[in-house]
Structure 1
Amino acid sequence: MKKSLVAGIACLSLSLSSAAPWAVLAAPHQTVATDNGQSTLQPITSDVAVIAHRGASAYGPEHTLAAYKEAIKMKADYVEFDLQMTKDGQLIAMHDETLARTTNAKELYPDRAPWRVKDFTMDEIKRLDAGSWFNAAYPELAKKEYIGQHVPTLDEAIQFVKKHGNGKVGLYMETKAPDVYPGMEEKLIEILQKNKVLDSKNLFLESFSEDSLRKLKTLAPNVKLIQLYTGAMLKGKDVYQEFKRVADYASGIGPSKELVVPKFMEAAHQNQLLVHPWTVNSQDDLASLLSLGVDGEFTNNPDKMVELTDKPFISHGVASGDVTDTSAILWARTNDAANVQFEISTDSSFKEPFIVKTVHAEAENDFAVKAKMDGLKPDTTYFYRAHAVSSSYTVNGSFKTAPAENSLKPLTMVWGGDTGGQGEIPPYNSFKAMSALNPDFFLFSGDTIYADNKTPAVPNPPSQSVQDFWAKYKENRTDAGLRSLLQKTATFSIWDDHEVTNDFSGPSQPLTPTGLRAFEDYWPISNERSSADKLYHTYSWGNTLDMMILNNRGYRAPNTQADGADKTMLGGEQLEWLKKQLLESDAKIKLVATSVPISVPTGKANARDGWANGNQVNPNDPTGYENEFKKISDFIVEKGIKNVFFVTTDVHFAQVIKYDANHDGKTDYHELISGPIGAVKINPGTLDPTFSPESMYAEGNFFNFGVFKVDPTTNKATVEIRDENGKIHFNYDFQLED
């Protein structure tokens, strides 16, 4: 059996820069485990099972002794047998109810179509060749020894695995079509007893038929049973109730692999049901399901899974981020301590010269690693790959560097946020739709997790330990669409409140150091941004766009403080930095990435979380941060700074707003809001009137994301709001001012 994928105990410490305004709140040294103990997204067994599906059926003819031998050589934990019954009541190992696909029955018995197993005696089946078909179908894997392989009886299969597996390889058997074969269950138990394996701890019996499993339970009360599922079997059912019911007779469930998502895992593991998905063959899929905490996997390629369970591997994909014209940050995570090698090249085959860097993954950062790649060429697509040095499993990604300084190049950016809130957890369709657009980069505009909400990763919220926070990031990374997007393009990540707790103010929230630490661990953030935990920085796309990423959380005064000249969200230093960036930018577009909106009142009355005080709701509310934003607004107007766009998410609906802050009839700047990707959906309300907003578009109650395109040749910026399936709900071309 393979070792547990749950990491061991490590002694960690929280170390934060003294320059951060909350540094005094850093926690003392403590001994902790890298996995969150309450998470349902981790195995409930100490050993994750490698189940050779029909034997090592990617390498030899399925359900032959040759395929079973290959599985044993590859160190599979279990060999799986599908069972059919012959005309004379013998159990054989075969998947199909007919002999046609995997034997030469058509040639040997041409007049006996449709060649159903139940119509043939054991002696007749023994004359068949069950291996030559494999050589014809897969000539690159053909072997002479496969010619003439016979169909094994269940007795033969058990005895072969016992002998060649030295008693260490388990048996996994499925009653196929038990309604076609009356008495199959009794015959199976009889054979298991005869071969002295009925009481083996390494025996599982499986079926899609609940009746068959319940019959087996009656015949052998202590046997471990697995209820198999197709998607159709679970359609319309509450998995929590279904698995509670199934736990009455089964030890586990065997779902089709696409069914396995966090809620599925939670429902199973809360009922102490093992999860063994089928049939998982690519190493990407094997690794993905291991990241969800499955307890075993059926695979035609047991060698690929054995490698993953034996050695550290890249467990949650890779990412690139904070890309400039000459550099990028690469990110990966392993499931245990390991050296991680990053390679980067302009050639997707990596035949051309490329850069190699090796970084050590340690428990202190939950085995997440980053590597900065310098000396890159502007406006160039780069391919990269990462692997734990001890493993051959490699994960690939790509990104495009920014254009050279002063150049004007087109740009496509996608943005969004709000993932994992109010029970809306993976899978997320929006990330797939974003990825399909092949954007130049992705701006993750905050609430990249909901640390304070109940999810399978943290069933008992709010997140308290760094392990809880890490678990939340890993949970979202189980989403195939998000991994695809992160591996396809660069990401610029912003934190907002739910990376710590709802509507928090950094300096006054004790959990800020913990939430910040996890955020920095799980995103490819540059040292320029993470230094002193400042997080704000400007990134340029040639002369087309300057993107000014704000830190709206780390320096703010408490939300409950009355607004006034001394109340700040950004802090004095960041505010002056923003003004300087706006004034000195000669880019066509000044994009201010802010995690909170300007005129949509957020938070609660008397504790406004965004800039607006919501005086259209409560004219006596003294809170908000309008005095500070007025300084920004006045600066833009007085300095005549053109083509300013504030981009955010946060409010769980989409809206595009233009502002005439000085009431001169001309638009001074715009605000672009999208979301949510995966959180509660609400409808837009009335805007706070302070800065004279005018809504150009507002729509709620749907999952959505934003697209921002710039075409320097036409001097236009295009904004789109798309739903989770990629359908455009809003499209507008802004004519840029010279």
Structure 2
Amino acid sequence: MKKSLIAGLACLSLTVTSAVPWAVLAAPKKGIVTDNGQSTLRPITSDVAVIAHRGASAYGPEHTLAAYKQAMQMKADYMEFDLQMTKDGHLIALHDETLERTTNAKELYPDRAPWQVKDFTLDEIKRLDAGSWFNAAFPNMAKKEYVGQRVPTLEEAIKFVKQKGNGKVGLYMETKAPNVYPGMEEKLIDILKKTNVLKDKHLILESFSEESLRKLKTMAPNVKLIQLYTADMLKGKDVYQEFKRIAEYAAGVGPSKELVVPTFMEAAHQNQLLVHPWTVNSQDDLAALLSLGVDGEFTNNPDLLADLLNKPYISHGAASGDVTDSSAVLWARANGPANIQFEVSSDPSFKHRSIVTTSHADAKHDFTVNVPVNGLKPDTTYYYRAHTVSSKYTVNGSFKTAPEQNSLKPMTMVWGGDTGGQGEIPPYNTFQAMSALNPDFFLFSGDTIYADNKTPAVPNPPSETVQDFWSKYKENRTDAGLRSLLQKTATFSIWDDHEVTNDFSGPSESLTPTGLRAFKDYWPISGERSSADKLYHTYSWGNTLDMMILNNRGYRDPNTKTDGPDKTMLGEEQLKWLQQQLLDSDAKVKLVATSVPISVPTGKANARDGWANGDQVDPNDPTGYENEFKKISNFIVEKEIKNVFFVTTDVHFAQVIKYDANQDGKTDYHELISGPIGAVKINPGTLDPTFGPESMYAEGDFFNFGVFQVDPANKQATVEIRDENGKIHYSHAFQLEE
């Protein structure tokens, strides 16, 4: 983009406030509580539990007194004991049904394969070394004191934890393979009575066996029971019905960690069931599950979870956005008031870090921060890491700055939209497929949330408070693929209708200030775009591409208004700005990022939401915004502006369209449509004929995204439509005109 335009943009940004009558309403109120009061993606307990999985088993030999001691030193809330039963009827703390993996049974009893616990007496098991194996397997964690550790009985384990934990550490016990050990439940209850912990409020019993849990329920009706689940156990089941059923006997569920998604959390919490996933060891995974509202986590690393729970931390990943050749905006969210620090460097090891910047996260912005970073070098990959200054937990990311102004460098972008609508909620596969392509940037083309649809974050829609809107953004950020993509490349985000409510017109919709506020809180948006809430701006990739991001919502007249010369979607200033950008751009490609389509009729009859009025549906429909788009189309044709591509999503199918607006047999511009990423899937229909469209490709009923590449050396631009798994459904190379 030419330098002369930058000053013009600065002037424009000072004059748009009067065109946005609701902007003055957007000032946040004081004393905001960030919990929206209805989300099922929050704990139902007052304290999230740190459950030491077999003790601090990342640091010492599992199910030994040494591992239990370490877990208590690391502030674990619960100690987990897996229970097996010896040949002579004693309960011991051991995970496996055999002794081979975690003891020296094979060496001490070489002729007794397969060394099953049920074939050994307690006296025989007490002779085994249960610690040396750990030193051999994990030499970096080895300690002399682990040599000679013994397999504890359940009674010994209980007494040790109660004594060393001063009665503050809870007991969490699993009946392993109860079908192998008849009478296990009776033995367990007897020991709990004998050790005087049966009535302990911090006692929890768990099992994969429903039969075992129901048996325990009859013997100890007041003890909390947790139904464990593997993926296979839930395969083909309706989790809402399943959890309603087990709530008869269980106080909670213990799922394999990959099962925990918003739908799972909603089903459990609606039935007042605790959610304790297993086994969660990396701090990224621990934080991700906390963002889903779990009530506790089984972990081999209790210190890492305790650190997250005791100090503010980065809760929903990080992101970069609105990148230029010398600047970027960094985004992160903490789970409470905190100072968030970013380190930025072109060195991935950060040995030579160049920039350190800190910003305060407060309740007014739901503990999110947007931090500008300036003074960067063009065409350079930068790495960043974010953390709250009180926490060791760090989130890493990267982005690439644009090439310098007059350079011609190849470019790859991915684009898509429509996430979280009509019952389609995280997890999404599409973002992983996008990330795998290593794009230069991601254009999020609108409907980044569905504020007006029911989801676990807002079970009673529509979103009305800013807390509701914030909850929607947090819900989509629970998707691991989205977090991965946002941390891997820069993002340019634009809003469409569902960031507020379906088919809204900014100045006439009372929720617009609230929706806009949340949108700006949750995306890395530059001051140039957020200034006066204008949101439109041009970003350049050297001389390869100028991307003109439109604000199709903030200035529009009501959809129901009859179309005519005075009806507007963009507002007079934005329309003139767009025409000037197109005219002055000397980039090979002019990419117009619009949140609504040109020739696909959207909205409803007599209230068209896109530019088209739907002539082919109802020739008498007086709505739409065709008069305004005609000004854009005529301008492109009359000024002979080449290589213009309009890019959008919104309509929930993929389509590539070429336009011969003046009917002279030559293509004047193209429209590229992808989507949805995660919303209802629709099949293409008939195009409105006003601007001379010709469909080159159309396909619906699948999740998809778009890829747009520019190869200036070969004077080509290529579009691809890929499905959620990354498979190419359509590809076309456009020869760029000189």
Fold shared by both chains (TM-score > 0.5):
yes
Equivalent-residue separation in structure 1 for 2:133 and 2:243 (angstroms): 40
CA distance in 1, matches of 2:44, 2:138: 38
Give the Cα–Cα distance (whole angstroms) in 1 for the partners of residues 630 and 691 of structure 2.
Answer: 8
Q: Distance in 1 between matches of 2:115 and 2:49?
A: 35
**Is 1:241 matched with 2:241?**
yes
**1:150 corresponds to 2:150:** yes
Give the structure 1 partner of residue 232 of structure 2. 232
1:291-690 mapped onto 2 (5 Å cutoff): 291-690=291-690
What is the Cα deviation at residue 22 of structure 1?
1.4
Once the two structures are superposed, residues 527-562 of structure 1 have per-residue CA deviations (whole angstroms, 9 ceiling, x without a partner) of: 000000000000000000000000000000000000
Shift of 1:32: 3.4
Q: CA deviation at 1:23?
A: 2.8
Q: Which residue of 2 aligns with 1:102?
A: 102
Measured after TM superposition, the shift of residue 21 of structure 1 is 2.7
Displacement of 1:60 in angstroms is 0.2
| TM-superposed deviation, 1:20 | 3.0
- Check conservation: 1:61, 1:134, Cα contact below 8 A: yes
CA deviations on 1:112-156 (whole Å, 9 max, x unpaired) are: 000000000000000000000000111111101000000000000
What's the offset of the Cα at 1:729? 0.2
Instruction: Show the counterpart of 2:10.
Output: none
Aligned to 2:714: 714
Looking at structure 2, the residues matched to 310 and 353 of structure 1 have their Cα atoms a distance apart, in angstroms, of 29
CA drift of 1:96 comes to 0.1
Q: Distance in 2 between matches of 1:189 and 1:428?
A: 44
Q: Supply the distance in 2 between the matched residues of 1:519 and 1:353 (Cα, whole angstroms).
A: 31
SS across alignment from 2:507: helix
Q: In 2, distance between residues paired with 1:42 and 1:293? A: 4
Report the CA distance between 1:354 and its aligned residue. 1.7
Distance in 1 separating the partners of 2:327 and 2:606: 44
Query: C-alpha distance in 1, partners of 2:737/2:264?
Result: 51
Equivalent position of 2:12 in the other structure: none
CA distance in structure 1 between the aligned counterparts of 2:331 and 2:301, rounded to whole angstroms? 28
Aligned to 1:92: 92
* DSSP 3-state at the match of 1:619: coil
8 Å contact 2:31–2:364 — kept in the other structure?
no
1:356 alignment partner, SS class: strand
User: Alpha carbons of 1:19 and 1:162: their partners in 2 closer, same or farther (altered >3 Å)?
Assistant: farther
Which whole-Å CA distance do the structure 1 matches of 2:171 and 2:19 have between them? Answer: 59
8 A Cα contact 2:30 2:364, kept in partner: no
In the alignment, residue 523 of structure 1 is paired with which amino acid? W
Q: Residues 17 and 689 of structure 1: is their aligned pair in 2 closer, same or farther, counting only changes over 3 Å?
A: closer
Matched residues in 2 for 1:485 and 1:262: separation? Answer: 19
Offset from partner CA, 1:604-659 (integer Å, 9 cap, x none):
00000000000110011000000000000000000000000000000000000000
2:243 and 2:19 map into 1 onto residues whose CA distance is 50
- Tell me the residue number matched to 1:13: none
Q: Normalization by structure 1: what TM-score?
A: 0.97
Taking a change above 3 Å as real, the CA distance of residues 349 and 27 of structure 1, as seen in their structure-2 partners, is closer
Contact 2:314 2:332 (8 Å CA) reproduced = yes
How much has 1:493 moved relative to structure 2?
0.1
User: What is the root-mean-square deviation in Å for CA atoms of aligned residues?
Assistant: 1.0
SS at match of 1:539: strand
Q: Where do 1:282-293 residues align within 5 Å?
A: 282-293=282-293
Shift of 1:352: 1.2
Other structure's SS at 1:713 match: helix
Q: Distance in 1 between matches of 2:228 and 2:31?
A: 40
Task: Note if contact 1:21-1:555 (Cα within 8 Å) is conserved in structure 2.
Answer: no
Counterparts of 1:444 and 1:558, CA distance in 2:
25
Mapped to 2, the partners of 1:69 and 1:275 lie a distance apart of 26
- Higher deviation after alignment, 24-33 or 116-125: 24-33
Q: CA deviation at 1:30?
A: 5.9
Partner of 1:4: none
Matching residue's letter, 1:354 = S
After TM superposition, give the deviation of residue 36 of structure 1 in Å: 1.3
Cα distance in 2 for residues equivalent to 1:206 and 1:592 = 56
Asked if the contact 1:592–1:646 (Cα under 8 Å) also holds between the matched residues in 2, the reply is yes
Residue 152 and residue 105 in structure 1: after superposition, are their counterparts in 2 closer, same or farther (change >3 A)? same
Structure 1 distance, partners of 2:503, 2:356, is: 42
| Cα separation, 2, equivalents of 1:190 and 1:713 | 79
Q: 2: distance between equivalents of 1:409 and 1:200?
A: 67
Aligned counterpart, 2:168:
168
Could you tell me how far apart the structure 1 residues matched to 2:180 and 2:92 are?
14
What is the alpha-carbon distance in structure 2 between the residues aligned to residue 28 and residue 577 of structure 1? 30
3-state DSSP of counterpart to 2:713: coil
Return the offset for 1:577. 0.1
Q: TM-score if structure 2 supplies the norm length? A: 0.97
CA contact (8 A) 1:25 1:510 kept: no
What is the deviation of 1:594?
A: 0.1
* Secondary structure of the corresponding residue to residue 469 of structure 2: helix
Gapped runs of 5+ residues in structure 2?
A: 1-15
Residue 18 (structure 1) shift: 6.6
Name the structure 1 match of 2:260: 260
Distance of 2:30 and 2:466 partners within structure 1: 11
Distance 2:628 2:147 in 1: 80
Using the alignment, how far apart are the partners of 2:316 and 2:44 within structure 1? 20
Matched, 1:54 2:59: no
d(CA) in 2 for partners of 1:228, 1:318: 32
How far residue 28 of structure 1 moved from its aligned partner, in angstroms, is: 7.9
Aligned residue type for 2:573? E
| Identity between Structure 1 and Structure 2 (%) | 84
Q: Answer yes or no: is the 8 Å Cα contact 1:18–1:532 preserved in 2.
A: no
Contact persistence 1:257–1:277 (CA under 8 A): yes
Deviations 1:439-485 (A, max 9, x none): 00000000000000000000000000000000000000000000000
Aligned to 2:277: 277
Q: Which SS does the other structure have where 1:406 is aligned?
A: coil
Q: Distance in 2 between matches of 1:536 and 1:28?
A: 22
The aligned amino acid for 2:674 is: S
Q: Any idea what SS the aligned residue of 1:344 has?
A: strand
Does the Cα contact within 8 Å between 1:131 and 1:147 map onto a contact in 2?
Answer: yes
Matched, 1:691 2:654: no
Amino acid at match of 1:713: A
Q: 1:532 to 1:448 in 2, by over 3 A?
A: same
Cα deviation digits, residues 378-429 of structure 1 (max 9, x gap) = 0000000000000000000000000000100000000000000000000000
- Distance, in Å, in 1 between the alignment partners of 2:189 and 2:575 is 75
Cα deviation, 1:153-184, whole Å, max 9, x if unaligned, reads 00000000000000000000000000000000
Partner of 1:22: 22
Q: 2:6 is matched with which residue?
A: none
Measured in 2, the distance between the counterparts of 1:455 and 1:715 equals 45
Structure 1 CA distance for aligned equivalents of residues 675 and 96 of structure 2? 48
Write the distance in 1 (CA, Å) between the matches of 2:103 and 2:353. Answer: 50
1:127 match: 127
Instruction: Identify unmatched segments of 5+ residues in structure 1.
Output: 1-15
**Retained in 2: the 8 A contact 1:658–1:694?**
yes
- Give the Å deviation of 1:311: 0.3
Letter of the structure 2 residue corresponding to residue 667 of structure 1: T
CA distance in 2, matches of 1:201, 1:29: 41
Do the aligned partners of 2:23 and 2:532 also contact (CA within 8 Å) in 1? no
CA contact (8 A) 1:57 1:301 kept: yes
Bigger mean CA deviation after superposition, 30-39 or 496-505: 30-39
Does structure 2 conserve the Cα–Cα contact (< 8 Å) formed by 1:430 and 1:724? yes
Report the residue type matching 1:703 in the other structure. F
